Structure 1
Amino acid sequence: MKSKFALLAFSAMALSLSACGSDKSGAPVSGEPLAKVAAPDGKSWTEVISKTEQGGYKMGNPDAKLQLVEYGAITCPGCAQFHVQSKTELEEMVATGVVAFEFRPFLVHGIQDVPGFLLAKCNGPEAFFGISDQMYNRQAEWLGKMQTLSEADRAKAGTLQPNDLIKFLAEKMDLVNFVKPLGVSEDAANQCLSDQKTFEALVKESETAQKDQKVSGTPAFFLNGADLQVGNWAGVKAALKNAGAS
């Protein structure tokens, strides 16, 4: 498959971890405080998960007044920091029914991001946030293994076709064993790592985000379609509160 996301040189991927993350700041939208919306009987809005047409995963009231979208990469340290710092407060906002949060995968480090995303998607929409949260919480543990690859491993990786490289990277990061305690069986994990259709969708969705939303780095945040121009939880939180979230 001819795609700059899929065919990035292995050496460039391994050295690109510092390319993500941003401390940009911008003027948040403003609005009056918004009234809470009751969740469906017996549920919290944080338990309402759906897959979107853009390939993302949305948590919360589909009709929430404030629609927050993050473009993130599973191997992005800045994204991991955002998720660790935001989880409690953001879920409290989602639980009000005023804010919906959608995460859209973006391959900022090319094929290096693909194995983790394929496995996070493996058990369907309702399991996505649970698996990806654990990947972010323990990112240094599994991603750190990339820094100890031998020269022979690096040379081999440079000869592999994308589908074989995905499996090779997953093995080197020990991701199958990582997700097994999270409810993804070994057989299911291996099938997901071989899922050509989902791989191609990830590439296409990243290319579309780059073209249509001008996404060039991660994490990138949009509120009701407007680029927040912030790259951390403090900035996103301020924008949501100024827009009426509580």
Structure 2
Amino acid sequence: MRTFNYIAPLAFALALTACGEASEGEAGASAAGSVDAVEAPAGQKWSETVSKTEAGGIVMGNPEAPIKLVEYMSITCSHCKEFGEQAFAPLRDNYVESGKVSFEIRNFVRDPLDLSAAILSRCGGETPFFPLTEQALSYQGTMFEKAQAMGEATYGSILSSAPETRFVRLAEQLGLIAFFQQRGISEDQAKACLADTATAETLMGDTQKAVEEYDIQGTPTFLLNGQKFDGTNWAMVEAKLKEAGAK
């Protein structure tokens, strides 16, 4: 069973070894014929239809889409960043908009940096979640630089502080509050979200459930209609979507 040590050394918090490596995967969708496109309701776009799921993720697209893609992702995972750069635009434009595919992101929090960014990506509610997540992934390198610059002593002091101030202090050091403020999350709103210990506990709990239910060991990991496969390559994921009928 995975445990979460949020008073870990800084070097551990920045380790990228928990990111997944590309693989052929454990399972995929069985071969299927092409499924029909589904038009969004008048005046709407499927990419703008966003809601929270029972599993704690955020899903974009037709709620009744016959092909459901889930990504367990970490904002501090380099492979997740690369996948986002490759996949988010074509996945949205070519598959979600057709009504054939829904795309759900479930945060799999790996470290305190990741948890802070995940909390802020959800701070504005469901509607801005996907663009905020995409932009947070692009900030990954700067976040690591600022984390290294703070040093072990400061990092340890922050993680030893009271739960309601811990992630506020960490996000300030990482420049995350200013980063999200430029993207529509006010400073007061960001600090309130980071101080909400229930949100942090929920995200950690959802991560633990993912380990127990799907044996998630690295990110990104994908579910396609409930079947798990590992990988970081958009071409591989797209092939799975087409195999499932999203042609």
Indicate conservation of the 8 Å contact 1:25/1:231, yes or no: no
Partner of 1:37: 38
Worse-superposed segment, 89-98 or 160-169: 160-169
The structural deviation recorded for 1:113 is 1.4
**What stretches of structure 1 of length at least 5 have no aligned partner?**
none
Deviation string 1:171-230 (CA, Å, 9 cap, x unpaired) is 121100000111100110010010111111101101100001111111000100001232
Secondary structure at the aligned position of 1:71 is classed as: strand
Identity rate, percent:
38
The structural deviation recorded for 1:162 is 4.4
The structural deviation recorded for 1:233 is 1.4
Q: Does 1:168 align with 2:169?
A: yes
Partner of 1:145: 146
Indicate conservation of the 8 Å contact 2:73/2:106, yes or no: yes
Partner of 1:75: 76
Partner of 2:102: 100
Partner of 2:22: 23
Amino acid in structure 1 at the alignment position of 2:121: A
Please show how residues 88-237 of structure 1 align to structure 2 within 5 Å.
88-92=89-93, 93-107=95-109, 109-157=110-158, 159-237=160-238
Q: State TM-score, norm by structure 2.
A: 0.91
Amino acid in structure 1 at the alignment position of 2:15: S
Question: 1:12, 1:211 → 2: CA distance?
Answer: 26
Secondary structure at the aligned position of 1:69 is classed as: strand
Indicate conservation of the 8 Å contact 2:28/2:228, yes or no: no
Indicate conservation of the 8 Å contact 1:94/1:101, yes or no: yes
Secondary structure at the aligned position of 1:117 is classed as: helix
Partner of 2:10: 11
Question: 2:60, 2:192 → 1: CA distance?
Answer: 26
The structural deviation recorded for 1:161 is 4.6
Question: 2:112, 2:189 → 1: CA distance?
Answer: 20
- The root-mean-square deviation of aligned C-alpha atoms, in Å, is 1.8
Worse-superposed segment, 208-217 or 143-152: 143-152
Task: State the 4+ residue runs in structure 1 displaced beyond 6 angstroms.
Answer: none
**What is the count of residue pairs matched by the alignment?**
243
Question: 2:162, 2:3 → 1: CA distance?
Answer: 13
The structural deviation recorded for 1:6 is 5.2
Secondary structure at the aligned position of 2:62 is classed as: coil
Indicate conservation of the 8 Å contact 2:20/2:231, yes or no: no
Question: 1:169, 1:4 → 2: CA distance?
Answer: 21
Deviation string 1:79-132 (CA, Å, 9 cap, x unpaired) is 11111110221002100000000000111x232211101111111001111211
Question: 1:164, 1:190 → 2: CA distance?
Answer: 9
Q: Tell me: CA distance 1:40–1:195, structure 2 relative to 1, closer, same or farther (3 Å).
A: same
The structural deviation recorded for 1:43 is 1.1
Indicate conservation of the 8 Å contact 1:57/1:103, yes or no: yes
The structural deviation recorded for 1:141 is 2.3
Question: 1:128, 1:114 → 2: CA distance?
Answer: 15
Question: 2:103, 2:159 → 1: CA distance?
Answer: 37
The structural deviation recorded for 1:28 is 3.5
Q: State TM-score, norm by structure 1.
A: 0.92
Question: 1:28, 1:147 → 2: CA distance?
Answer: 39
Question: 1:105, 1:118 → 2: CA distance?
Answer: 10
**What stretches of structure 2 of length at least 5 have no aligned partner?**
none
Indicate conservation of the 8 Å contact 2:61/2:102, yes or no: yes
